[in-house]
Amino acid sequence: MKDFKGKIAFITGGASGAGLGQAKVFAKAGMKVAIADVRLDALHSAVSEIMEYSGCKAADVLPLCFDLTDRAAYTSAADTVEKVFGGPPHLLIQTAGVNSFGPIEASTFDDFDWVMGVCLDHVVNGLVIFVPRMIKAYGGADGVAREEFHVACTSSMGGFIAGSGCGPYCAAKAAANNLMYSYADALAPYGGGSTVLCPGNINSNIGDAEKYRPEHLRNTGYHVSEGTMAHLRSVHSSGIDPIELGEILKEAIENGRIIALPFSDPETWGPMLRNSNAQVEEYLLTAPERQKKREERMAEMMKNRPAGGGPGGWEVPEGAERFGMARKDLDYVDPSKKPQ
């Protein structure tokens, strides 16, 4: 996606931090921007900041206050975007996130439900709610001319690195990464794209996230205090600037990159990422006997595969030609992905 002017963006977590930086960058690129956040006061100030930075008009910024884990509220917000801006977003960026730190073995259900609800479930919500609308509007269905469209997610370097001190967060981000890789493949036939942004540290207020934890999810196993939140604010103050991060995401989208890895501290994150990958490489390189046995089993399976059998050597049952396809009545899905 290269042409942003006059098009529509929808950005979650858009009232502060990385989401606000992205809203400023894409508003300056000429987009109409809808920003979603759970903090009403922050949304009002964000609109003013976006207008001041980008020079856009008030009518080009739509603040939406709702809980991103509430699917009914998210659907209502999607309807509002279409009503106000005349269509679904051409660019969906899901950036809202929360985190809390403590030993993973001390985690409660509330700790998992809160962190994974915001960091993963809200991403799923946005994709399921918006992607069909985006395909119908911009993917060339029913003879409608194609327009560029793109989905993006602000993930984290934590998605590549096991973190026993923030396990729910790292698990959510790893899942979000994989989800975006899948959408990159899925949207290509419609002319769409997908990007996952994985920064190491952002100058944001995520350190205050515990202040906004819902009451019904406050049973935490972690020690949380004003002191721990102040420490996190100090850590994040040295992170990458949100506008710089927004520009990095814009460049990645323009060039069709599936992943963007902006290091605010390459001397720290580079070795950590290499170490994580090295564990996989070490297993592969030190397991020649296991690999040899696996190849022998696969060769034997293929040799004994019945005529007309599947790729793994099994017999294809009746109706299996429809395996992995979408329902036939979904009018926006590419015909090649539906049974004939």
Contacts of 240-244 with C-beta under 8 Å, sequence gap 24+, read 240/199, 240/200, 240/201, 240/202, 240/203, 240/264, 241/21, 241/203, 242/17, 242/18, 242/19, 242/20, 242/21, 242/22, 242/24, 242/202, 242/203, 242/204, 243/21, 243/24, 243/25, 243/53, 244/21
Burial of 224: CB neighbours in 10 Å, binned 0-12, 13-18, 19+: middle
Spatial CA neighbour of 294 closest among 312, 279, 314, 280: 312
Query: Of 74, 138, 169, 190, which residue is the catalytic one?
Result: 169
Is residue 1 within 8 Å of residue 149, measured between CB atoms?
yes
State how far the Cα of 221 lies from the Cα of 2, in Å rounded to an integer: 45
State how far the Cα of 94 lies from the Cα of 86, in Å rounded to an integer: 21
Per the document, the length of the chain is 340
Is 53 in the active site?
Answer: no
Residues involved in catalysis: 169
